[in-house]
Structure 1
Amino acid sequence: MAIEFNTIDNFDIEGKTVLVRVDINAPVDPILGVILDDTRMKLHSETLKELSDKGAKVVVLAHQSRPGKKDFTTLEQHTNALSKNLNLPVQYVDSIFSETTKNAIKNLKNHEILLLENVRFFSEELINKPSKEQSKTLVPQNLYPLIDIFINDAFAAAHRSQPSLVGFTPLVPSAAGRVMEKELKIIQNAFDNMEHPCVFVLGGMKADDSIDVMENVLKNGTADFVLTTGLIANIVILAAGFNIGKVNKKFIKDRDYCYLVKKSKKLLKKYGSKIVYPKDVAIENKEGRREDVSINKIPNYSIFDIGIESIKEYAKIIRGAKTIFANGPAGVFEEPQFAMGTEDILNAIASSKGFSIIGGGHIAAATTAMGFENDVSHVSSGGGACINLLSGKKLAAVEALKESANTIKRTKK
């Protein structure tokens, strides 16, 4: 794969002030307010430690949740978690571009690391616009005169076109951090060196994104089979002409996904048996227990997993694949009685000989929780970014990095 953006290797960073956008958004206990998982801190530690070791003055910009949510909070705790993972002291300032912040950045010494406040405390951060427009917003305008280089390592947020992600690239030399670089290389190389049969396992709740992926990978010939689970499976089963029960139809309607049923009908007509949907599903019956039923006779109870016969069929297809992409859990895996589909599919992926990529988000959490993270080829850190790539869409933050690299080339000429 030809790299079209700069990386850390393209710059001499000793003594330079380097602003690094990371994604250390973490689950927070709603009662105790403590961080429950520091996985993303571990991931970004490679980039931050390398920059510090090379003598950079490192300024870190990040977000936590969004306004209105219970876990929308300061990054004070993240400072301690980051420091622990880096085994280095991390300073913290409780603002984004106040005079206190600016002085803290100016006073940084080589090898030191400073974490700024939650960038989403500033309202402009939640607006998506092109990079040139975002470069005129207050966060980039206030911080760029203080920095020499911008590094974007936030792959998990790369599909967003927000000020802290794209606003610095028109203003200062910019590069991808190690997490961003690794994610893009692995996913692109998987596409460039595709081995068949190639199987996509699509599930979870983001039905619109997943059906975009389905359409893209079938249209371009990437996928030999698309195995549907979760809400996507319910939509496809309905599109195939089966009655999924009023409660499940209402669930689809309430999310304004009726148009996806029509779209799925067209895809089924065009691609036929390449789109695989469950032959049986698991419902929660009136006793509150799991019950596996044929799609020919689904009662009016919520569907929470794919059925046992479907699990067997899916596992057989997966084990025969040479390339596997999986995004989204098969059901409500948080409930032990409905975790079977997700667990058995992940077990099949882990035990297959094929190259496998697990999308981020819930499927990544399930992979780790079930102990399969070391048995798959790659667990992505970004669900939304990964699924956007798979559906053939461009990532705003990556395009901004490419444009920055091209600008530097033109300037040198």
Structure 2
Amino acid sequence: MFKTLDDLPEEGRLLVRIDVNSPVENGEVQDNRRFSRHAETLRELADDGYTLGVLAHQGRPGRDTFVSLEQHAEILSSHLEREIQYVPDTYGEDALEAIRDLSGGEILLLENVRMIDEELADRTPEAHADSAFVETLSGEFNAYVNDAYSTAHRGHASIVGFPQVMDAYAGRVMEAEYEANSAIQEREFDGHVSMALGGTKADDLIHVMERVDDTVDTFLMGGIVGELFLRAAGHDVGYDVEDTDFFDEQWAEQEDTIRELLDSYGDRIRLPVDLAYEDDAGERAEVAVEGVEKGTSFLDVGSETVGEYEAVVADSEAVFVKGALGVFEDERFADGTVGILEAIARTDCFSVVGGGDTSRSIEIYGMDEGDFSHVSIAGGAYVRALTGESLVAIEALEE
């Protein structure tokens, strides 16, 4: 197991990696749950008198979301209610001067690590450790703290390079996410275990289903993936209409596997019995799956499906959620996603909610995060944890 903040020496200068990668709308970085979660780690360390240099990334080169971290410093400052200094440099002279001017309890956010070539280079952890980026910054700090669980599956320099040359610890977000998201592989449940699977990527969810079939009793399907399974079951859905491109390519790649899963899992897979769409008046309308001929895009599971799924959740000892059952960002088509989450909130079951932006629906629709055992801020790392795959950041901390 890795070391945590509880194992830190009593004082020192810490290099902390967080993940506040966020949506950017019209050039404005959007505040989200990642800021508040990482702010808790930074607050604890600053209150304990540590001097903090903070690394983070935003977007990828060539994308509209690839911006500096100046706004991130302002958002973090608002969450911490204390100044987060920012320097538009990662490990050059300006960064080093700002780092050396820091004193106990002060926090400095360095520039977007993806603005340097070393971060995304395809190298081994040992090679990353030999980079000028890692060599330079490691000399300025006493220890390294990785709190960026959302990027734990990325073998980038700021994730795997520093633990090669510095004492390394897991931050509070890293610790909590790893423990909760690994529960499906590491815990034993005496009662019924359910998993709600939605979203747009069939490959991710098929892999999850194959790896957790010894633990999960019932899979509740929705979203794009649910339609693909309905197509395999003989219903006239699960293909592209109206210039969409969600279905046909995935069907060509995954048809055989989906059919095999339906055949081998039987009634452990619960498919939607009705689906919702936008009618000519712009209102939510629903249609039964049996006998339907798809002529428009389906945007959510229907009311009868929601009721059936809620009943399964009510009888479960544990429920895991990966992906949305519908386009919950549109209130008309949030019934499936919100219905499942509200059913979980009403029970005393162990629950983990994650996968892309799914957890965001909890905030959008005014639910209490405290009603869930864990709400994950991770995407790809959450999928890997569910399937029991190794995470390079965890391996680096353990080593």
Establish whether TM, by shorter chain, passes 0.5.
yes
Deviation for aligned residue 1:287: 4.7
Aligned mates of 1:238, 1:153 — CA distance in 2: 41
Is residue 23–residue 63 contact of structure 1 (8 Å, CA) maintained in 2? Answer: yes
Is residue 47–residue 178 contact of structure 1 (8 Å, CA) maintained in 2? Answer: yes
CA RMSD after TM alignment: 2.0
Is residue 140–residue 163 contact of structure 1 (8 Å, CA) maintained in 2? Answer: yes
Q: Where does residue 316 of structure 1 map in the other structure?
A: 311
SS at match of 2:24: coil
Aligned mates of 2:154, 2:251 — CA distance in 1: 23
Deviation for aligned residue 1:401: 0.7
Amino acid at match of 2:269: I
Q: Where does residue 265 of structure 2 map in the other structure?
A: 271
Deviation for aligned residue 1:95: 0.7
Q: Describe how 1:13-412 pairs up with structure 2 within 5 A.
A: 13-14=10-11, 16-30=12-26, 33-127=27-121, 129-189=123-183, 191-218=186-213, 221-244=214-237, 246-247=239-240, 251-253=245-247, 255-296=249-290, 297-372=292-367, 373-403=369-399
SS at match of 2:30: coil
Distance 1:198 1:140, change over 3 A: same
Aligned mates of 1:368, 1:211 — CA distance in 2: 28
Q: Where does residue 7 of structure 1 map in the other structure?
A: 4
Aligned mates of 1:353, 1:158 — CA distance in 2: 30
**Any idea what the Cα deviations from partners look like across 1:276-318, whole Å, max 9, x if unmatched?**
1112212334554433222231322112111222111111111
In the alignment, structure 1 segments of 5+ residues that lack a partner are 404-413
TM-score by length of 2: 0.93
Aligned mates of 1:65, 1:255 — CA distance in 2: 26
Give the stretch that moved more between structures: 255-264 or 198-207: 255-264
Give the stretch that moved more between structures: 250-259 or 141-150: 250-259
Distance 1:189 1:271, change over 3 A: closer
**Any idea what the Cα deviations from partners look like across 1:118-140, whole Å, max 9, x if unmatched?**
11112342345442232233421
Deviation for aligned residue 1:226: 0.8
Amino acid at match of 1:151: V
Aligned mates of 2:20, 2:91 — CA distance in 1: 20
Aligned mates of 2:132, 2:190 — CA distance in 1: 47
The share of aligned pairs that are identical, in percent, is 38
Give the stretch that moved more between structures: 293-302 or 90-99: 293-302
TM-score by length of 1: 0.90
Distance 1:189 1:334, change over 3 A: closer
Aligned mates of 1:124, 1:300 — CA distance in 2: 49
Deviation for aligned residue 1:144: 1.5
Deviation for aligned residue 1:255: 4.6
SS at match of 1:161: coil
Q: Aligned residue pairs: how many?
A: 395
